[in-house]
A and B are shown apart, each in its own frame.
Chain A
Amino acid sequence: MSKIREQELTFGDSLPDPTPDTRHWAVYTSKRDGAPYKWAGYIDAPDAELALQFAREHYGLDETCVGILAHEHEDAVDGEYSLEPLPRGNDTGADGHEWTVFTLERRGGNHQTAGVVKAPDAATAIERGQTLFAGDRVRSLRVVPTDKLQKTTAEELVIWRLHDMDYKLAKGYSKIVRAKWTKIRDEPDYEEYRQEDIAKHF
């Protein structure tokens, strides 16, 4: 914060109420063309357009990203979580509208897109999804009506920036970072700082 601007900043007695106009959206990102969309997190947004714009800035810049997919949280229906890999289903019907199927391989893991099925309702979509996408590792399925999915691609509007984004990829105390720090601090001082920093944050 600029020292000049800090002086301008005043707060009233209380912070304003949170906006009631936003809804929860689930966000998935794809790292490269053709790769599945993997669950990235949630955002709050008032509508689909801003959901995608927020998702782009919030989750599209953590790592290389070529596509973002989002849906309102309430549009997702999750199947039961199984401790064992889900068995293959046998419902091969193809009536109804299209659902996008996401697979989950472990509790607390990330859902990722697997494909689509047609079904008249969510329960049937999960059954049919199990027929097509259950495997050795899949423990649960999520289905979302495909027409409820919002999608953006790098062709429409870039996500991962085109300028040098290496600074976004800095991770921990790599050799490079360490070398830079030790130019500024003595090695023992740096080591002490590092230990304190690790203790504080982890």
Chain B
Amino acid sequence: MTMQDMLNDPLANIILMHADDKLMLGHIQSDWTGLAPILEEDIAASSMSQDDLSHALVLYEYLGKRFDLGTDDIAFERDAINYRCCDLITTPDEFDWAVALTKRWLVATFTALGLDRLATIDDGDLAARCKRLIPEQAIHVTHLTAWMIRLGSGTDESKARMQTAVDTLSASAGMMFEVPESLVETYCGRDELFTQWHTAIMDTLTQAGLSATITLPENSAVGGRRGVHADHFTQQQSEMTEVRRTEPAPAW
């Protein structure tokens, strides 16, 4: 089995979508450690970043076993074109907490639905892994949703800042539903998944007094999920893999 076998495998591509989203999200959001608006949220946000990295590891381990690859090789040894994360993840937040929070909430809600689906696949190991991650993902969604509602329905300033963040990200939120090349013919239920996600998002936005227009991209849309990444992704990916490239196969 080779890395290419994994990259050609439809199910592996779905798993990589979520695992790569989480790897990059955990990497980027950990930049907020020490900077979040209040100490308690700083700790919670850092904890969620750790979770995201750990969740990526759990999924990479599954792929590693199935394709006889090293976990670190999957996480760090791929070229940028072979990462399946969407570029919403690495869209800069300019250290604006409203943008960081909204982005994380959009992605966490999507991932929660994705893990639910993966858990139903007829593969005991994968299902067991997803069933461990689902309750943890629920913590993220619960926490982030609580903040979306509080900040959206808080003061005039907080509402305005949250609406600006939602406006900034809603144009690219559909990226999460881009389809990897190997899944163009086989990816079922994308419309249904989008409807589920959109309903959940709109429900929270309504409670928060916020609004957004988010559309499902065409099946043929080309972006991060097909390896066509923006500069902000390649910069982050390059930095994230720097140690690995400097010191190949380090052991800890």
State the A residues within 8 Å of B (CB): 1-5, 8-9, 18-19, 22, 43-46, 49-50, 53-54, 56-58, 61, 157-158, 161-164, 180, 183
Q: Counting chain B CB atoms within 10 Å of each CB, which of A5, A50, A183 scores highest?
A: A5
Alpha-carbon separation in the docked complex, A163 to B62 (Å): 13
Q: Are A158 and B51 in contact (CB under 8 A)?
A: no
Cβ contacts B46-70/A at 8 Å (1 or 0 each):
0110010011011000000000000
At the interface, yes or no: B244 with Cβ under 8 Å from chain A? Answer: no
Query: Whole-angstrom distance between the alpha carbons of A152 and B66 in the complex?
Result: 38
Asked whether A163 lies within 8 Å of B55 as measured between CB atoms, the reply is yes
Q: Is B230 an interface residue (CB 8 A)?
A: no
Across-interface contacts of A43 in B (CB, < 8 A) = 40
Q: In residues 15-36 of chain B, which contact A (Cβ within 8 Å)?
A: 27-28, 31, 35
Q: Does B123 contact A (CB under 8 A)?
A: no
Question: Are B38 and A44 touching (Cβ within 8 A)?
Answer: yes
CB pairs A–B below 8 angstroms (15 shown): A1-B31, A3-B239, A4-B236, A5-B28, A5-B31, A8-B94, A18-B38, A50-B150, A53-B44, A58-B43, A58-B44, A61-B47, A162-B132, A162-B133, A163-B58
CA A142 to CA B35, docked complex, whole Å: 36
Interface residue ranges of B119-154 to A (CB < 8 Å): 132-133, 135-136, 138-139, 142-143, 146, 150
A49 proximity list for chain B (CB < 8 A) = 146
How many B residues touch the partner, as a band?
35 or more
Taking a contact as CB atoms under 8 Å apart, the answer to whether B43 and A161 are in contact is no
Most chain-A CB neighbours within 10 Å: which of B31, B40, B132, B239?
A: B40
Given contacts A3-B239, A49-B146, A53-B146, contact A161 B40 (CB under 8 A): no
Once A2-B236, A50-B146, A53-B146 are accepted as A-B contacts, the answer to whether A162 and B43 lie under 8 Å apart by CB is: no
| Smallest beta-carbon distance B201→chain A, Å | 20
Q: For the complex, give the distance between the alpha carbons of A171 and B106 in Å.
A: 36
Contacts of B133 in A (CB 8 A): 162-163
Q: Which residue of A lies closest to B41 (CB)?
A: A54
Is residue B251 within 8 Å, beta carbon to beta carbon, of the partner chain?
A: yes
Cα-based distance from A18 to B38 in the complex (angstroms)? 8
Beyond A46-B150, A163-B132, list 11 extra A-B contacts (CB 8 Å). A1-B31, A5-B31, A22-B38, A45-B40, A49-B146, A54-B40, A54-B41, A57-B40, A57-B47, A161-B54, A162-B135
Given A4-B235, A4-B239, A164-B54, verify A158-B139 contact (CB < 8 Å).
yes
A56 to B38, CA, bound (A): 16
